[in-house]
Structure 1
Amino acid sequence: MKAIVLDRGTKEKIVYTDVELPELGEDEVKIQLKAAALNHRDEWARQGLYPNLKDGIVMGSDGAGIVVEVGGKISSSWIGKEVIINPANNWGTDEKAQSKEFHIIGIPTNGTLAEFIHVKGDRIHKKPAFLSWYEAAALPLGGLTAYRALLVQGGLLPGQKVLVTGFGGGVAQFAAQFAIAIGAEVYVSSSSNEKINAAISLGAKSGFNYSEKNWTDKALEKTGGFDLVIDSAMGDTVNNLIHVLKPGGRLVFYGATRGNPQEINARKVFWNQIHIIGSTMGSDKNFEDMLSFISTYRIKPLVDQVFSLKDCVNAFDRMKAGMQLGKIVIKIS
């Protein structure tokens, strides 16, 4: 089969090549993928900035397709079904945090940027009928991450004010859409006024360009402060986020693309009783709840642009440049 694999010895670090699937396990299903989607972890792996890298591994964590074969322990009723894949493996039994065995497909195990994939039978769910193949493929990792960060860790309630930073990326667009759906007062930040306007067109109340030095003053003047901030950057921006939170507010972060902060305004954190909460992906229950949530509110992922599998280098380059508004999707078949 054709696939995109990591190959750090090449110029582009990824190659379009032939790959052989291993024998199907008794507890696995074989899926003919119709579409896949990129996440930042794919580009970070390409740049060598992700742990447990191994050349020859098929990349990609998001995917949707049709079950074409099942192992001996899986019901044959799945054959022919349209499914999406939960990319999170081995969360464990504790809803509070993942187990040490937790991992995401695509790294360190074969992923979705391929014509076929084998996954455990408990990783598949029926594709919501109202989603296209491209929309379904765009949902799993970003949707799960946003659901847990916003509604489980963040505990957002209708009417509360929430700031979603970095609108335009996959998780951020889901977080904004989910918050709008439940009736929260949603604001976004971005360095792109175009992306801010896109969020407003979806139902966000307003947005702030974080490249402006006084954006936090504008945010406080307009809102009086936020009950919740959802962020993936951290770094030295964290004190700006602490500054715009109401007393007792929550800052939930699901990434640290700007690294660790050099310093943190600890006095403001304790005096204002700020909660700083980490969040990573989500449990199996979170995934099921997320699917129910998007089906109830008929939430469709924003698809930025669709590339062919063979043209994945350009798709990765678009992500690297931060040009996307929504998810970059790969058409497989």
Structure 2
Amino acid sequence: MRAVFFKGKDHPLVVQNIKKFRPVKDQVLVRLQHAALNHLDIWVWREKDSLSPEGNILGSDGCGVIEEVGEDVDPLFIGMEVIINPALDWGENPIVQGNSFRILGYPDNGTFSDYIVISKKYIFEKPEHLTSAESAAVPLAALTAYRALFSKARLRSKEKVLITGIGGGAALWVLQLAVGYQGRVYVTSSSPEKIAKAKQLGALGGFNYNDPDWVQQALKESGGGFDIIIDSAGGNQFSKLIELAMPGGRIVNFGRTNGNITDIATRLLYSKQISIHGSMMGTRDEFLSMLDFLESRNIKPVIDKTFPLEQAEEAMRYMEEGHQFGKIILQISK
């Protein structure tokens, strides 16, 4: 079987042939058809060290067919098309993950390979309305978006939502989920083309954050600000989100593509009584609710580009450039 190995920080990714995995106890062996990239893969590649001399198999998202099962798994699972929940060992507290929580792909071997073995509790039937490639685009990003939008921000119908940095997988899932729940959605981007595409997906407006007057434009067009702001950038622009939030507004952050937050307008924070939430991944119940939401509203992911497994590093570099609008997929088998 082929697998894409991460050997260490900034080392080239290596495609190697290794012995096929075998499931034990409660595990299943999934023959993967497609996987999807996330910014998590970039951060591991650029910031982490390999945990073993052989390296680690990256990848959190995948869809495939169960080919073999362990001794504690019903043989009827064989042949089932499944997607994988990459949130491992969340713990008992739905509010926050426990100390054993980790995300599939690091340190556990992930989905950038022909096969994966994983506990049966992390597999779910592929949504009927999605292809294998579309299903691979769901798990990490859609779960992150669902928790941020519904569990943290508690979106209500007709509320105004601002999504920063539209174009990445999680931000697009927030857009589609919010539109599906009748939210009034606006976006930011440095790309007029991405803003135009977001409008085609249901956004009411968009703002170029390189424009020095974009905050004033957003306040005017939205009628005074936003009930909910979903941010995956952080960085030194975060204080502008405080200005854009309505009194009693909720801001949720789940990323740092622009680095650490450097300042917050403290007076506006308390005078507007704004809530700021950090969010990451989600629980099993949220994963199930997210799948039900997608199926009940026939929502499909936006896919930007597909690469063969052997071009995983090329796909990672493409993601780093930041030009994509939608998920980046690896085709593993047909």
Bin the TM-score by the shorter chain.
over 0.9
Aligned to 1:295: 295
Question: What is the one-letter code of the residue matched to 2:154?
Answer: G
> Is the aligned partner of 1:129 residue 2:128?
yes
Question: What is the one-letter code of the residue matched to 1:236?
Answer: N
Instruction: Give 1:219-258 correspondences, 5 Å limit.
Output: 219-223=218-222, 224-258=224-258
CA-to-partner distance for each residue in 1:136-157, whole Å, 9 max, x for gaps? 0000000000000011101011
Q: CA RMSD in A?
A: 1.3
Distance in 1, Cα, partners of 2:209 & 2:148: 21
Check the 8 A contact 1:45/1:53 in 2, yes or no. no
Aligned to 2:330: 330
The 1:246–1:277 alpha-carbon spacing in structure 2 relative to 1, beyond 3 Å, is: same
Distance in 2, Cα, partners of 1:142 & 1:297: 18
> Is the aligned partner of 1:168 residue 2:196?
no
The 1:144–1:50 alpha-carbon spacing in structure 2 relative to 1, beyond 3 Å, is: farther
Q: CA deviation at 1:12?
A: 5.1
Aligned to 2:7: 7
Instruction: Give 1:41-60 correspondences, 5 Å limit.
Output: 41-47=40-46, 49-50=47-48, 54=52, 56-60=55-59
Distance in 1, Cα, partners of 2:107 & 2:175: 30
Secondary structure of residue in 1 paired with 2:277 = strand
| Count of aligned pairs | 331
Q: CA deviation at 1:18?
A: 1.4
Aligned to 1:100: 99
Distance in 2, Cα, partners of 1:314 & 1:23: 29
Instruction: Give 1:52-201 correspondences, 5 Å limit.
Output: 54=52, 56-201=55-200
Check the 8 A contact 1:31/1:68 in 2, yes or no. yes
Secondary structure of residue in 2 paired with 1:108 = coil
Q: CA deviation at 1:211?
A: 1.1
Aligned to 1:285: 285
Secondary structure of residue in 1 paired with 2:56 = coil
Distance in 2, Cα, partners of 1:22 & 1:35: 18
Ranges in structure 1 where 5+ consecutive residues have no aligned partner = none
Question: What is the one-letter code of the residue matched to 2:187?
Answer: V
Q: CA deviation at 1:21?
A: 4.4
Check the 8 A contact 2:86/2:122 in 1, yes or no. yes
Ranges in structure 2 where 5+ consecutive residues have no aligned partner = none
Q: CA deviation at 1:260?
A: 2.2
Distance in 2, Cα, partners of 1:216 & 1:21: 54
Distance in 1, Cα, partners of 2:230 & 2:183: 13
Check the 8 A contact 1:41/1:50 in 2, yes or no. no
Check the 8 A contact 2:58/2:112 in 1, yes or no. yes
Aligned to 1:218: 217
Secondary structure of residue in 2 paired with 1:290 = helix
Check the 8 A contact 2:21/2:29 in 1, yes or no. no
Distance in 1, Cα, partners of 2:271 & 2:196: 35
Aligned to 2:308: 308
Q: CA deviation at 1:53?
A: 5.1
Aligned to 2:28: 29
Aligned to 1:38: 37
Q: CA deviation at 1:46?
A: 1.6
Question: What is the one-letter code of the residue matched to 2:270?
Answer: F
Secondary structure of residue in 1 paired with 2:162 = strand
Distance in 1, Cα, partners of 2:178 & 2:61: 22
Q: CA deviation at 1:259?
A: 2.4
Distance in 2, Cα, partners of 1:52 & 1:255: 23
Distance in 2, Cα, partners of 1:172 & 1:152: 16
Distance in 1, Cα, partners of 2:221 & 2:272: 20
Q: CA deviation at 1:317?
A: 1.0
The 1:50–1:247 alpha-carbon spacing in structure 2 relative to 1, beyond 3 Å, is: farther
Secondary structure of residue in 2 paired with 1:118 = strand
Q: CA deviation at 1:56?
A: 1.2
Check the 8 A contact 2:22/2:29 in 1, yes or no. no
Give me the TM-score of the superposition, normalised by structure 2: 0.96
The 1:278–1:51 alpha-carbon spacing in structure 2 relative to 1, beyond 3 Å, is: farther
Q: Kindly, what percent of the aligned residue pairs are identical?
A: 42
The 1:53–1:198 alpha-carbon spacing in structure 2 relative to 1, beyond 3 Å, is: farther
